[in-house]
Amino acid sequence: MTHMLSTDDRLQITETLSLHGHILDGAHLDRLEEIFTPEVVLRRHNGCWRISHRIVTALNREGKS
């Protein structure tokens, strides 16, 4: 069965991908919660992080050092 996306679905996906690029390219790590759900896991070479205020703060500090 083929599922076709509606025009609105496609627009929302495009907007989310554009926002993702903007947030990451601009290093706006304090805005990660705009594109990820609280359940997302960020994998790093030294472990896993969950998106939370504490993680966003840590990422911001790391990005400034």
Inside any domain, residue 45 = yes
Q: What percent of the chain has pLDDT over 90?
A: 26
pLDDT of residue 40: 72
Inside any domain, residue 1 = no
Inside any domain, residue 41 = yes
pLDDT of residue 9: 94
pLDDT of residue 62: 66
Task: Tell me phi and psi for residue 47, to 5 degrees.
Answer: 140, -170
Inside any domain, residue 44 = yes
pLDDT of residue 45: 64
What is the number of structural domains in the chain? 1
pLDDT of residue 33: 81
Helix/strand/coil (H/E/C) assignment for every residue in 22-60: HHHHCCCHHHHHHCCCCCCEEEECCEEEECCHHHHHHHH
User: Which range of residues forms the domain containing residue 19?
Assistant: 7-64
- Averaged over successive runs of 10 residues, the pLDDT of the chain (65 residues) comes to 86 94 86 80 65 64 61
